Amino acid sequence: MRTQVAIIGAGPSGLLLGQLLTRSGIDNVVLERQTPEYVLGRIRAGVLEQGAVAMLDEAGVGARLHAEGLVHGGIELTWAGERHRVDLNALTGGKNVVVYGQTEVTRDLMDARQASGATSVYEAADVAVDGFDSNRPTVRYRKGGTAHALECDFVAGCDGFHGVCRQSVPTGAIRSYERVYPFGWLGLLSDTPPVSKELIYVSHERGFALCSMRSLKRSRYYLQCSLEDKVEDWSDARFWDELRRRLDPRAVADLVTGPSIEKSIAPLRSFVAEPLRFGRLFLAGDAGHIVPPTGAKGLNLAASDVRYLFDGLVEHYRRGRSVGLDAYSSRALRRIWKAERFSWWMTNLLHRFPENGPFGEKMQLAELDYLFSSKAALTALAENYVGLPY
Ligand code: RFL
Ligand code: PHB
């Protein structure tokens, strides 16, 4: 088989790139290790920046997002038992975010890909990328016991943090920067109405909590937990009890609980690989970088990477110019590092770090107090939360 762009991974970055390329007449094949059902079963992000929404519109998959997504013009932060609103819309001259689950984004992209007739290979095993330092890369994989080779012009490594593409690069050619946080997030999804109209980020002495949502009938809650915790340690009753202990009195009164439909623990990590281009292999999304979820930036960074990579590929195929592809890594990394900084800052501000002791907690409280007394400081939070320009 031969194609122009071989895309490894059918997460949001791979599917979005594929859809944009298909609509521009650039042939592409998506290779995914898992089944579509497995990919759709992973509960992850919920908040989209306007830039990501615009990309999904450009890919022709914005209809359901606009019909069902919830436009949010603010978020709330709780500390010392009181809730404080950040008016994102007013602080950014009219920008908002849209609450629409990653599962739904992925489903919309999968449906559009199927309708377009573009080739996707799910359950592709032992994917290996060869010859990306030459003009003729080849991606090898096995499907149903048979070996296949896919020849291509370019390989887009959209295969997430644990994918094969970054691991295929010789160690001397890549540099990694990493911080692993000493805690995780325990997430719970339930078919209950959200506790509040907007997201609530909670700083509490027992640990961080987040009240989010997927719709007006489906809620998503998170608790900072220990890295030793197992999901089995957390019955629904224990989860709701712990959440109540971290919420303000009004939220406790408003909270509607119910059986969980999903519960999982995610470790928190900051990670960046440099560069993001190796000959004809390009890394995009979580394959090249990870942010802790506190700033809601992971999926949005995947979209901005795809913006730069797609533009570079279009320029190559339409005009025979390589300026955009040559600049891909440095352009993407400039935005990535700023989102890394914001996510690291939000994480440090709102979580309990036992090793920082009482002094560290006082610093967090002073920073929160300052934040809500300074329009300049709140504006900095707001403009990062809604997303920096591409
Ligand atoms: P994905 O989604 O991990 O997809 C990669 C795909 O590649 C496949 N794959 C392979 N395929 C073939 N061969 C191989 N060898 C392969 N190895 C892997 C995988 O099966 C998978 O299907 O990466 P992508 O597309 O770059 O998308 C990134 C986002 O998924 C991620 O950044 C976000 O989910 C992060 N994130 C959030 N981002 C936001 O923008 N807003 C949020 O509110 C937000 N909340 C979150 C989050 C991530 C979380 N977790 C669990 C990590 C909340 C959580 C709890
Ligand atoms: C989510 O709804 O899953 C979510 C929302 C905001 C975040 C992280 C996760 O910062």
**Ligand 1 close to Cβ of residue 31 (< 6 A):** yes
Indicate which ligand has the atom closest to the C-alpha of 102. Answer: 1
**Ligand 1 close to Cβ of residue 297 (< 6 A):** yes
Tokens standing for residue 97: 């975010």
In three-state secondary structure terms, 143 is strand
Q: Determine the pLDDT at residue 335.
A: 98
Q: Determine the pLDDT at residue 98.
A: 98
**Ligand 1 close to Cβ of residue 291 (< 6 A):** no
Q: What are the boundaries of each domain within the chain?
A: 5-49+59-71+97-177+269-347, 182-267+354-386
Average pLDDT, the chain: 97
- Roughly what angle, to the nearest 10 degrees, separates helices 12-23 and 102-116? 30
Using the structure block, give the residue that is written with the tokens 């088989």: 1
Q: Determine the pLDDT at residue 385.
A: 98
Phi, psi (deg, nearest 5) at residue 11:
-85, -170
Question: Residue 201 Cα, ligand 2 centroid: separation in angstroms?
Answer: 10
User: Can you tell me the distance from the alpha carbon of 302 to that of 156, in angstroms, rounded to the nearest whole number?
Assistant: 12
Tokens standing for residue 13: 């970055």
Element at 378 (helix H, strand E): helix 375-386
Question: Residue 13 Cα, ligand 1 centroid: separation in angstroms?
Answer: 8
Is residue 47 scored above 90 in pLDDT? yes
The tens digit of pLDDT for each residue in 271-305 reads 999 999 999 999 999 999 999 999 999 999 999 99
Q: Give the list of residues 6+ apart from residue 371 with CB closer than 8 angstroms, or none.
A: 77, 377, 378, 381
- Residues 182-267+354-386: name the CATH superfamily: D-Amino Acid Oxidase, subunit A, domain 2 (3.30.9.10)
Q: In what order do the strands lie in the sheet with 138-143?
A: 125-130, 138-143, 146-151
Question: In this structure, which amino acid lies at residue 38?
Answer: Y
Q: Determine the pLDDT at residue 256.
A: 98
Query: Which residues participate in catalysis according to the annotation?
Result: 72, 201, 293, 297, 385
Tokens standing for residue 264: 């999982």
Indicate which ligand has the atom closest to the C-alpha of 266. Answer: 1
User: Can you tell me the distance from the alpha carbon of 262 to that of 202, in angstroms, rounded to the nearest whole number?
Assistant: 21
Question: Residue 293 Cα, ligand 2 centroid: separation in angstroms?
Answer: 7
| Confidence band of 43 (pLDDT split at 50, 70, 90) | confident
CATH class of 5-49+59-71+97-177+269-347: alpha beta
Other beta carbons less than 10 A from residue 204's beta carbon: 20
**Ligand 1 close to Cβ of residue 305 (< 6 A):** no
Indicate which ligand has the atom closest to the C-alpha of 289. Answer: 1
Tokens standing for residue 262: 């999903």
Enumerate residues lining ligand 2, CB below 6 A: 45-47, 199, 210, 212, 220, 293-294, 296
